Amino acid sequence: MSKRKREEQARRNRLLILIAVIVVVIVIIVYFVSLGKINLIPEEDEKTKRIRWIDNRLQDLHFEAKSKKELKEKLDEKVKRYFLYTRIALSFLYLAANLALFFWVLDASKDCNDRLSILLNYNEVAIIVILVILFIRFETPSEFRDVFKLIHLSVMKIVYKNHEELDAEINAIHTEIEVLTKEKDGLSNQEPPADDNNPPKINS
């Protein structure tokens, strides 16, 4: 490369550097003159910001609802298991009471048939007493099965001791999801504001 070409290349490089410096200086001057009011990056309008916030909030709510539903399913399974254990325990307790009555409480001098007859009589009396108590409590025989409901509710209360408001929390989450979804749909279907330079077209 000749000396003349190198000088021309150097002049072009200096000219490009000078132009770049001038552009940077102009941008800085304009920025300070406008006190930072000129934003080179276009800002999102309020509707877009709101839709973005709703999307993030819905994502969090769906995750929270899924977690609480999984917790509720686990607690319901525990209630079923504990209720079954309670019925088995009551059955064994009833059986143990009858065995104790048969072998130790009743007169050992009596033969097996006599003790069995006395045991059956005791059971009949116990059943009558229980029926009378239930009749006084529930008034109608058709409501005797409510005893099992009471046992089930007692077991549920123990299992849900630290999660008494779980159903209300799940319902509140679903309500908020519905409200935000409707709001998002309304914002998405909302017509953009008319521009003076670009008025909406009117179909003839």
* Domain residue ranges of the chain, discontinuous segments joined by +: 7-39, 68-164
Residue 139 confidence (pLDDT):
60
Tens of pLDDT, residues 120-140? 777 777 777 776 776 676 665
pLDDT of amino acid 140: 57
What pLDDT, on the 0 to 100 scale, is given for residue 204? Answer: 37
Question: Could you tell me if residue 139 is left (phi over 0), alpha (psi between -120 and 50 degrees) or otherwise beta?
Answer: left
Q: Would you give the end-to-end CA distance of the chain in angstroms?
A: 70
The tens-digit pLDDT sequence of the chain (204 residues) is: 566 777 777 778 788 888 888 888 888 887 777 665 555 555 567 888 888 999 999 999 999 999 999 999 999 999 999 888 888 888 888 787 777 776 666 665 566 677 677 777 777 777 777 767 766 766 655 555 666 777 788 888 888 888 888 989 999 999 999 999 999 888 888 765 544 444 444 443
CA separation for the pair 132, 141 (Å, rounded): 10
